[in-house]
Structure 1
Amino acid sequence: MEIQWRWLPNLWSWFVVCLLGIMSTPLCAQDEFAKELEQLAVKCEELGLRQQAEITRAWIVADRPDQQVFYPFQNIDHYKPAVNAPQLQKYWYERFSDIRKGEAERLYQQACQLTEDLPQAYRLLHRVLHENHRHLGARKILGYSDSTVLQLRPRTAKAKKAMPVTGWRSGEYFTIKTTHFEISTNASAADGVRLAKELEQMYSVWQQAFVEFWCDTAGLKKRIAGENGVLYNRRVHSVILFDEVQSYQHFFQQRGIPNQNSSGFYNANSKTSYLHPGKLQSNPWVHEVAHQLFYELGPALQNVGSEQNIWAIEGIAIYMESLQNFDRYVTLGGFESGRLQYGRYNALVNQFHYPLDRFVELGNQELTSHPDIAPLYSQCSGLAHFLMDGNNGKYRDSFFELLRKIYTKTDSAGSLAQLTRTSLEQLSREYHEFLLISDQDLDRLRPGTKLKVFCAARGDVTDKGLARLKAYPELTWLDATGCPITDESIPLFRSLPNLVEVTLDGSGVTDATVRVLAELKNLEQLDLANTQITDQAIGYLAGKPGLEVLFLTNTSVTDKVASDLETMVNLIILDLAGTRMSDAVVEKVKSSLTKLK
């Protein structure tokens, strides 16, 4: 039905009356906010505003027990209609904004009453600005005046003097300045500006996540009370961004520093982070800048973690790499965090667990020179995720206190057990329980999550839960070791064309699944150990040139597959232990595959 625009004022009145008329039942404030939004969404559907209904329903960000949500300040009006948008859309936005302004005021009053939990008050005030970025009270407390908001924007200039540390001459590089960072780069100005924006966002998230670490809570308390107070001694952090990986590597080679293959490097002596664009598409640079913030906004004592507890310093920086940007909010942590997958894999598949009583004793030199450095780093990652988010953040405050002790050099190898009031043996058990996931966890994945690697090993993940991964065609590694999945997951594998590595050890898949996996063009590693496959499965894989690793351990394949295996000429690893193949045939196959290790 065509709407007569001359009736729109009356229509809007009816629109509002309908919304207000069903709010008579008393509700708790948060439930009332959700109900008001749902009522608005229903009315939008009745009026044919489907997109606005979807936006309204998706506005409230769901809580998760294993993940934190933060709201970096953004001086924008989300979803504001264009000037020439239909009038109904403008009416929707007016009501949408009014509902959120009401919620902002409620949250503001709640924050002002949290005098005994000032870190939570600080975080809550950012939620206020998420609902109403013009809220004067919240902006004043947090220091977001019009002038400081302008300073958050990157300001770019061609350098007018040489930079001795890099050898860049005047005019050969750019300087990009924001409120908290100064970036020098011989890359493009656009690259520098993009990094500056990401750094400011990361800075806001770091501040909200670790209020206890940097904030003068007495100053925050004064501000909440309407008095003047200083939150912290602001400083500008130095970052050097090289134009390409080779320039970065050459810089460190010249100085004899053996970290030229790293994703970034923070030098505590010069208080500078060195980065390169090869890693700016993901989050490894966050790792180095996290080190920088903890060090420079803390006591800045030399050689922290040199004697013990280096795991916590590295672990919390890896935890920061889990940062995911969902446009109007950011998350940290979560069972799907990229680096946590390797922690889960090494602990539950490789059965790697460095005893905690020895783990906490490791200093920086011992960790970086350890022959098991890769799995040790994955344990740093896993343990940090556990202490931050396990059991609904049960140990988070204790972990914060441990970090404070480490950065003030008042820690000991016994600090973790002392601060958590839990034995290391008990922490180890709880950590392993934390690593296990289920279908319920997969149901919590947020729309828009970036997921390239995923390990569900030993978890209670079924075909139904795994099907949630259809939304992530960019996935390159999937490990379902020991999971009760079957050939019902064939549609999933068909939807993941970029898979490079698949592990199905101990699952219930059969030849039918292998037939689909054989069609994956990028497949390089396949683990079918302890499955019900037969000789037919190997026939599907015959002649696959990209396959480099194949595990057939404890399967029923026989000598008949020898000729098919010999066509996989690029195999580097082939495990035939526990199969029905004779020793002589196994030896013949392996001798014909010249690349086997």
Structure 2
Amino acid sequence: MNFKQGTTVNMPVTQQQHLRNSLLPGSPHQEPAEWSAWHCRLYREFCLLTLVVILFSHSERVQAQNPRALETYQKQYQILQTDFRDKLIQLAQNCQREQQQAGVETITEIIKEMQEFDPQANPLPREVRPDLPVRLPASERSWRLKLRNLQEEQANDLFVFSRKVLHAGFPSYAYDLILETAYLNPDHRSVRQILGYVRNGDEWATPFEKEMHDRKQQWHPQYGWLPATHIARYEQGERYVNGRWKSAAQEAEIRRDFRNAWEIKTEHFLIKTNHSLEMGVKLATEMEDFYRYFHQTFAAFFNTSEQMQKLFEGARNPFQRRNKNDQHVMHYYSTRAEYLQRLQKDIPQISLTHGIYLFGDRISHFYHRPDAEGDLGTLYHEATHQLFYESSFQGRNRQVGEKNHFWAIEGIACYMESFEKQDKKLRAGNPNHIRFNAARYRLLKDEYYIPLETFAAMGRNAFQTSPNISPNYSQASGLSHFFMHAARGEYRDAFINQLTQLYSVNSRVRTNPQSLEELTGLSYTDLDRQYREYSASLQKALNERALSLQSSQ
């Protein structure tokens, strides 16, 4: 639930809903920052199978990961990268000697991208790469062919290496390597299969997209999926409603009643809104981007190592939709009054909120806020709960974080509020986001910190009824950032593993999840110390960058 600024609320733990408090302290001045995150892509359709296999036996306790083993693989990766970079430099030098300036510039840019590479941020091209034109000048064709061969060789090496990393028990790192493989060779068939794509002529598409194209449907950026024959009339202001053509104004009048609202269906979402068709399509587009990044980031949540092993070995693509009606449902009301009217009866304190995900009906509810139209943090927060919770489509509702570790449920949702798109690149975890600024402010300025052992012992009721709910949300946000990013992502799989257990459909697993002490192999005391050091070093780096920006102006 997204609370309005300046509000504290206590609610019964028996209500089937997610609670969110957005109280934030005054935080340091924010400078714009470019920042890379780590994460990767998978589809929701694997989730049910995953959770049944991964967690159905409470006796299958996950062993703590070995940081030294991960470090060993990271060093091996650096050796692969260094060798590849040396070959690129040699090719660039050859281009320089042959006065192929375009080759020098192209290869230099590739080397730069290697240094700043963020596997989750780079969208894959839809088009299959064409063969190099035969009529290219011989010297240009030569360097382009050598470059492509080098990239494909490196992609093959990384793909083989990713399987070793996966077998060693580091699924998130392995999946990062898969994305890097795809970046180097977008037409690598095994990788495209792992990522859930199928070949559709000269393009790569998801099975859903291919199905829509086969049905002569086209995606329109304003109107969503439409029969190809309808697009021209829509662009001229007509709308097809209940089997008849009407004007856009006539349709808007019909859709004002939420019972007749627009329904925008995409591969993973059903957006129902009485605001406008265009707004519904915009939200659906944003949520599909979020979904893709979410499944990249939490690949280890949705897939066991055994399942990923089979996938890496060429098993049949498991991501094809099992049920075409399995979309995640979101209701977006035109006004706050409608939002309150719809939910007031079941949730007396709904007026304190901006949005809510209800476990009972499995619907996220939001309303249009003209004063915050570009702020999608509330949607991302609630969608995080929704995607985790609905990873299993089994009928039973379940409480999560009821007994302990509730901070992780809220912390990761606050973390995902930082999701953003910049120049088609998808990222989360910008340390200058208000959530993380607030976390460092509470810790480093206010000296507010609950030791992780005590914090982890708090269940839903203790967390939500605490008089310190606002700083607790800040701490949960900061800790989530730490476990996702500290030590080059060393603790990410452990954190995601705990989330997997907290959301399990198996009640024994869900109510007795392993602690982060067990999953990381470090004591709570060590984790407390590392979190403080991580926060301080992050703040120092941001301060130095701010000073650098000021001095350059």
Relative to the length of structure 1, the TM-score reads 0.59
Query: Following the alignment from structure 1 to structure 2, what is the Cα–Cα distance between the partners of residues 262 and 366?
Result: 20
Query: Following the alignment from structure 1 to structure 2, what is the Cα–Cα distance between the partners of residues 69 and 465?
Result: 24
Distance 1:166 1:219, change over 3 A: farther
Query: Following the alignment from structure 1 to structure 2, what is the Cα–Cα distance between the partners of residues 53 and 255?
Result: 60
| Partner residue of 1:297 out of 391, 397, 411 | 391
| Partner residue of 1:156 out of 219, 222, 225 | 225
Query: Is 2:162 the partner of 1:111?
Result: yes
Which residue pairs with 1:426 in the alignment?
A: 526
| Partner residue of 2:85 out of 34, 54, 70 | 34
Which residue pairs with 1:212 in the alignment?
A: 300
* Superposed CA offset, 1:162-202 (max 9, x none): 9xx995243x42x2222222222223333333332332232
Query: Is 2:291 the partner of 1:168?
Result: no
Which residue pairs with 1:228 in the alignment?
A: 316
Cα deviation, residue 351, structure 1: 1.5
Which residue pairs with 2:359 in the alignment?
A: 268
Contact 2:256 2:274 survives alignment (8 Å): no
Distance 1:435 1:389, change over 3 A: same
- SS of residue matched to 1:339: helix
Distance 1:297 1:362, change over 3 A: same
Distance 1:68 1:221, change over 3 A: closer
Distance 1:98 1:427, change over 3 A: same
Cα deviation, residue 297, structure 1: 0.7
Contact 1:80 1:93 survives alignment (8 Å): no
Cα deviation, residue 348, structure 1: 0.8
Cα deviation, residue 266, structure 1: 1.3
**AA at the equivalent of 1:210:** F
- SS of residue matched to 1:191: helix
Contact 2:121 2:427 survives alignment (8 Å): yes
Query: Following the alignment from structure 1 to structure 2, what is the Cα–Cα distance between the partners of residues 460 and 220?
Result: 37
Query: Is 2:393 the partner of 1:340?
Result: no
Query: Following the alignment from structure 2 to structure 1, what is the Cα–Cα distance between the partners of residues 139 and 386?
Result: 49
Query: Following the alignment from structure 1 to structure 2, what is the Cα–Cα distance between the partners of residues 326 and 80?
Result: 30
Query: Is 2:407 the partner of 1:407?
Result: no
Contact 1:185 1:240 survives alignment (8 Å): yes
Q: Extract unaligned runs of 5+ from structure 2.
A: 1-77, 210-218, 227-239, 244-250
Query: Following the alignment from structure 2 to structure 1, what is the Cα–Cα distance between the partners of residues 328 and 512?
Result: 29
Contact 2:120 2:297 survives alignment (8 Å): no
**AA at the equivalent of 1:389:** H
Distance 1:250 1:349, change over 3 A: farther
Which residue pairs with 1:238 in the alignment?
A: 329
Q: Extract unaligned runs of 5+ from structure 1.
A: 1-26, 442-455, 471-488, 496-597
Query: Is 2:381 the partner of 1:287?
Result: yes
Cα deviation, residue 68, structure 1: 7.7
- SS of residue matched to 2:225: strand
Query: Following the alignment from structure 1 to structure 2, what is the Cα–Cα distance between the partners of residues 184 and 348?
Result: 43
Query: Following the alignment from structure 2 to structure 1, what is the Cα–Cα distance between the partners of residues 518 and 137?
Result: 62
Query: Is 2:380 the partner of 1:314?
Result: no
Cα deviation, residue 413, structure 1: 8.7
**AA at the equivalent of 2:515:** S
Relative to the length of structure 2, the TM-score reads 0.63
Which residue pairs with 2:269 in the alignment?
A: 181
Which residue pairs with 1:375 in the alignment?
A: 471
Query: Following the alignment from structure 2 to structure 1, what is the Cα–Cα distance between the partners of residues 142 and 434?
Result: 42
Cα deviation, residue 296, structure 1: 0.8
Which residue pairs with 2:421 in the alignment?
A: 325
Cα deviation, residue 295, structure 1: 0.7
**AA at the equivalent of 1:364:** R
Q: Which has the higher helix share?
A: 2
- SS of residue matched to 1:182: strand
Answer with 291-300 or 230-239: which moved more: 230-239
Contact 1:217 1:231 survives alignment (8 Å): no
Cα deviation, residue 72, structure 1: 4.9
Cα deviation, residue 376, structure 1: 0.9
Aligned residue pairs, count: 419
Cα deviation, residue 373, structure 1: 1.7
- SS of residue matched to 2:113: coil
Q: Identity across aligned pairs (percent)?
A: 26
Q: Superposed, which structure 2 residues align to 1:385-396 within 5 Å?
A: 385-396=481-492
Write out the 4+ residue segments of structure 1 that deviate beyond 6 Å after TM superposition: 77-81, 85-95
Contact 1:307 1:362 survives alignment (8 Å): yes
| Partner residue of 2:279 out of 179, 191, 196 | 191
* RMSD across aligned positions (CA): 4.2
- SS of residue matched to 1:353: coil
Q: Superposed, which structure 2 residues align to 1:446-525 within 5 Å?
A: 456=539, 459=540, 465-468=545-548, 470=549, 491=551
* Superposed CA offset, 1:221-267 (max 9, x none): 33332343636976421122334556545544465442445443211
